[in-house]
Amino acid sequence: MARDEVNHAWCFGMISMATAAHTIDYLRAHSLVVATAESCTAGKIVALLSEVEGGGEFIECGYVVYSPQAKQRLLHVNPHTIETFNLTSVEVASEMALGALRDSTAGVAVATTGILGPDDVDGIPAGTICFAWAFQSNGGSCVFSREHRFFGSRCKVQMDAAEYAIHYLPHFHLLAMAGEWKQQS
């Protein structure tokens, strides 16, 4: 590995761990436990959170679901949603997060689905990742979603996406607590 690559990996690892530690502190302060539904991040969200000392107390479970069949079987993603919007869509990410939330005792679920690259797929640019954050709220649930494009190697896109998902969890939880969301049944 070249010197610049080593420095980047070390710096990135420090940033990711700081983000994970901040998120664990937030989960602790709000008595939240998280579940994940990860496709393209392949368990990296849970891995980052679990690397923080005591982080395991705030993780209920993590699903790694690559195939459409696994998304449907384990997270109850509607096949029509996949056919209509594609696997890389905020609609599928939202159903993944809601499925993980419904099937766990967690108060929050985070989902990712996307294309790491290096090639575009079905006209969707490499590095496009769709995210969803779902929260239990007053007997129902609410969900927020976003699409973001990252650049770099597959590994860099995957780690950047995992960190992005963790970074925005507190932000969307605060919005959910303020009632700035649409109710899901």
Q: Note the helical H segments in 55-148.
A: 68-75, 79-85, 90-102
The tens digit of pLDDT for each residue in 24-77 reads: 999 999 999 999 999 999 999 999 999 999 999 999 999 999 999 999 999 999
- The whole-model pTM stands at 0.90
Report the C-alpha gap between 144 and 139 in whole angstroms. 17
* DSSP state letter for 125: P
* Tally of domains within the chain: 1
CATH number of 16's domain: 3.90.950.20
The tens digit of pLDDT for each residue in 92-148 reads: 999 999 999 998 999 999 999 999 999 999 999 999 999 999 999 776 899 999 999
Report the C-alpha gap between 170 and 86 in whole angstroms. 28
Which of 180, 185, 170, 184 lies closest to 19, judged by CA? Answer: 170
